[in-house]
Structure 1
Amino acid sequence: MNKQIVKLKSIIAPSFHQVHRDIKKGLYTHHWLKGGRGSTKSSFISIEIIFNMMKDSKQGKVTNAVIFRRVKDTLRGSVFEQMLWAIEKLKCESEWEVNYSPLKLTYKPLGTVILFKGADNPLKMKSIKVAKGYIKYIWYEEVDEFEGYDKIRNINQSLMRGGPKFCVFYSFNPPESQRNWANMEVLETRKDKLVHHSNYLGVPREWLGKQFILEAEHLKKVNHLKYEHDYLGAVTGTGGEVFTNVTIRKITDEEIASFDRVHRGLDFGYASDPLHYTVNHYDKTRRRLYIFYEIHKAGMSNSSAVETIKQENKSNNRIVADSAEPRTIAEFKKLGLKIIGAKKGPDSVEHGVKFLQDLEEIIIDKERCPNTAREFLGYELEKDKEGNFKAEFPDKNNHSIDSIRYSLEDEMKAKKWLV
């Protein structure tokens, strides 16, 4: 590296110090960095890529980087300038060659490169090659603008080859809607994935400037919800969220052992639609629902589903299932389950959802029930052609919600709700 010594703490915000240490230790492959305006997440990523590529070269590792935006035309004025900023901050301008057509940065001592690509031409994704070493660093800036994680997964599968270790960054300002794929993706857990949230409050005020702080404080006064979204990076919603009483947290084994009002429900799968089995506890006094077990799988045979359910329901306690499938219920009974059909009344979906909305709190353990968490958080009213919310609840991506409605049949009857 350049002889001029730069203390990283002087150019990395305190909110990212631990992330830097995690990257240094190689703890994670996938780094999802989300946050509001002024959080410096893009600045942090650009510094990490430049710094670590140069560090790799000192250790005899030949590594390259590729940086993506959804649209190619946005590269020049965003991530390319951001990388030039990082080079300047690290005081290593003499070690990098800058090319504007095509956009490329070359580390002179080794000949390794940073490439800039738009994802709007998928045919070119598989043709990305480097002359030396392998592509270790990948950055998807404004990742929520991409069409979905499936497309990103395809790009990763093409690029993440030929090396022992990879470091992928995904940065974005969370969209308002929880249903947005990027907001849902950060809820999914895996051992090699870090999810980090930041905002401008974790950045030295002098870095942001007086005017930035004034604008933020003004918006906080006149439109607090907009402030939370824009500056704090909060998922504030679109106004169409069905369940605003959901809490995502770990439900401990000790809590589960104390539950004495446990319910089980089953929504049958059809073709590609998944079967969903739920186990939950209803605290009637405090009007809290604890959801702590699920089976969520498409393509299960009836016998396989029954055997899987029996592994959880060892005492063969009652299960309330979708009564629209009496033949399936009969077969499940023959296979040994104590199962009945839900007694549906008129407007049963509306009544059941409103019962759930009326609860003080719906607590979901997303480690145990990731699909339940995804469906409850993403369940939103749809809009008509004029942009107004439709009156009825959508009948899709609600397998867990249906199974929970069935499971709570008796509780709803006690409150004179209909399943």
Structure 2
Amino acid sequence: MIEKEVNPHFEDFLFDWSTKFQFIFGGYGSSKSYHVALKLILKLLKEKRTALVVREVYDTHRDSTFSLLEEIVIDLGLDHKIKCLTSPMQLRFPNGSKIIFKGMDKPQKLKSINNISIVWLEECSEIKYAGFKELLGRLRHPKLKLHMILSTNPVGEDNWSYKHFFKDEQNKRFVIDDKEVYEKRTVIVNDTYYHHSTADDNLFLPESYISQLDELKDYDPDLYRIAREGRFGVNGLRVLPQFEEWEHSEVMKAIDSIRQPIKRVGMDFGFEESYNAIVRMAVDHKEKILYIYWQYYKNKMTDDRTAIEIEEFKKTEELIIADSAEPKTIQFYKQLGFRMKGAKKFQGSRLANTKKVKRFKKIICSSNCHDVIRELKYLTYAVDKDGNIIPDEFKIDPHTFSAIWYGLDGYEVSDLKGGSISFD
């Protein structure tokens, strides 16, 4: 018989093994890692199993997961029964159960493990998606039910853990809205148990720690959202805070109401890792609104195949303004009958084009343009080693943003000081 006081919000979690996946996330100090570790110990005392604990870097186990498990073993008064070995790090139970530790920085070491029925991915957001999928293949046992526990502090919505367990707009995959989990705190969907927690759920935390987290709201709202609220979101400064997503019909209705809309088409070239991205845009110059209402977005397409898929531009005779770094490609399309020219590039043109788009009061995008929304809605600036933003670099390579730059070549948005416009 083991008696141990735990946080009430985690009581059900400790004994719920009904699902294959358990996604445990929340703010700093919520005690999520502690209760995952306790849950593992209780399970392995009851059943003979081998559990694998994984972090991105193997050496970080010593002062985190291994140290935490050893602390719980001692606290439960079981250190005379459960052996905590340091070289290699391992926990051995009297019934033959054991906990082993691996790092994704040494993937070759994963090949030698067998009969793993429980995997715990601590700080799973730091592990690469390919690593997660590799671990799924290592989770196998001929008789026992399989479980994978993933614990993490929330990060950006561009992280694989959010896309896999909540929603992935690029691949049009939806599992559950994260807002529903924040509201209900624990949810089971399909074969996944979701558990959300904050510092308020840890009754053993000192008030001074919670007050320290509360202070983040005044000077670091991003970290406050992660550390205090335990929520996913946008990490960093948004490039286009005026970006909005509207239903396609509403976008077209708004464009039709513009007295003299300025229609533009931009194209960015790509093949292997990057993409051929085309966007159709309409500018309401008087109201300083940019509308984006059509997209084309594909990679690994040769120019001849792309030409077939965008043949409608030959019929409409719309001018496509494209990346001038590819003059041979532009000439190829022109020879096929497309109206195409290269956008002007100059030193500092990335920053100038970014500033141009930022001067629009609103950027309204059709709900049909999934890749534009995915790339631009939460687009954030890259930062240097000191944490300062780099104004012409971003955390992703947004191909649709480049297409917008090129399409708006020769157009100038009037700024608040009443600057003039120009056209080519």
Shorter chain as denominator, the TM-score bin is: 0.5 to 0.7
Do the aligned partners of residues 328 and 67 (structure 1) sit closer, same or farther apart at CA in structure 2, a change above 3 Å counting? same
Match 2:119 to one of 138, 144, 148: 138
- TM norm structure 2: 0.65
Do the aligned partners of residues 395 and 294 (structure 1) sit closer, same or farther apart at CA in structure 2, a change above 3 Å counting? same
- TM norm structure 1: 0.66
SS in structure 1 at match of 2:63: helix
What is the CA distance between 1:302 and its match in structure 2?
A: 1.1
Match 1:117 to one of 73, 98, 102: 102
Q: Pairwise mapping of residues 143-182 of structure 1 onto structure 2 (< 5 A)?
A: 143=124, 145-146=126-127, 148-150=128-130, 152-153=131-132, 155-156=134-135, 158-160=137-139, 167-173=147-153
Counterpart Cα distance in 2 of 1:209 and 1:34:
21
Counterpart in the other structure of 1:100: 85
Counterpart Cα distance in 2 of 1:276 and 1:295:
6
Counterpart in the other structure of 1:301: 302
Match 2:33 to one of 42, 45, 62: 42
Counterpart in the other structure of 2:10: 12
Counterpart Cα distance in 2 of 1:313 and 1:162:
59
Counterpart in the other structure of 2:356: 355
* Most deviating of 308-317 and 119-128: 308-317
Counterpart in the other structure of 2:333: 332
Greater helix content: 1
Post-superposition Cα deviations, 1:38-96, rounded to whole Å, max 9, x if no partner, equal: 244424544665677789x6xxxx8643211233333243223545678899x9979x8
Asked whether the equivalents of residues 294 and 369 of structure 2 are also in contact (C-alpha less than 8 Å), the reply is yes
Asked whether the equivalents of residues 125 and 158 of structure 1 are also in contact (C-alpha less than 8 Å), the reply is no
Do the aligned partners of residues 289 and 231 (structure 1) sit closer, same or farther apart at CA in structure 2, a change above 3 Å counting? farther
Counterpart Cα distance in 1 of 2:310 and 2:147:
39
Asked whether the equivalents of residues 263 and 408 of structure 1 are also in contact (C-alpha less than 8 Å), the reply is yes
Counterpart Cα distance in 1 of 2:85 and 2:309:
58
Root-mean-square deviation (CA, aligned residues, Å) is 5.3
Asked whether the equivalents of residues 53 and 122 of structure 2 are also in contact (C-alpha less than 8 Å), the reply is yes
Post-superposition Cα deviations, 1:294-321, rounded to whole Å, max 9, x if no partner, equal: 5444431112223334599997755432
- Does residue 236 of structure 2 align to residue 231 of structure 1? no
Match 2:239 to one of 231, 234, 243: 243
Counterpart Cα distance in 1 of 2:108 and 2:28:
33
Asked whether the equivalents of residues 53 and 101 of structure 2 are also in contact (C-alpha less than 8 Å), the reply is yes
Counterpart Cα distance in 1 of 2:387 and 2:248:
45
What is the CA distance between 1:204 and its match in structure 2?
A: 3.3
Asked whether the equivalents of residues 247 and 367 of structure 2 are also in contact (C-alpha less than 8 Å), the reply is no
SS in structure 1 at match of 2:10: coil
Counterpart Cα distance in 2 of 1:367 and 1:139:
39
Counterpart in the other structure of 1:71: 57
Counterpart Cα distance in 1 of 2:335 and 2:275:
22
In structure 1, give the amino acid aligned to 2:121: Y
The runs of 5 or more residues in structure 1 that have no matched partner are: none
SS in structure 1 at match of 2:29: coil
Counterpart in the other structure of 1:127: 112
What is the CA distance between 1:382 and its match in structure 2?
A: 5.7
Asked whether the equivalents of residues 380 and 394 of structure 1 are also in contact (C-alpha less than 8 Å), the reply is yes
Do the aligned partners of residues 107 and 222 (structure 1) sit closer, same or farther apart at CA in structure 2, a change above 3 Å counting? same
Q: Paired residues, what number?
A: 390
Asked whether the equivalents of residues 184 and 374 of structure 1 are also in contact (C-alpha less than 8 Å), the reply is no
Counterpart in the other structure of 2:207: 210
Do the aligned partners of residues 400 and 65 (structure 1) sit closer, same or farther apart at CA in structure 2, a change above 3 Å counting? farther
Counterpart Cα distance in 1 of 2:377 and 2:197:
29
In structure 2, give the amino acid aligned to 1:139: W
What is the CA distance between 1:403 and its match in structure 2?
A: 0.6
Counterpart Cα distance in 2 of 1:155 and 1:66:
13
Counterpart Cα distance in 2 of 1:297 and 1:141:
35
* Most deviating of 296-305 and 285-294: 285-294
SS in structure 2 at match of 1:206: coil
Percent identical pairs in the alignment equals 22
Counterpart Cα distance in 2 of 1:144 and 1:322:
35
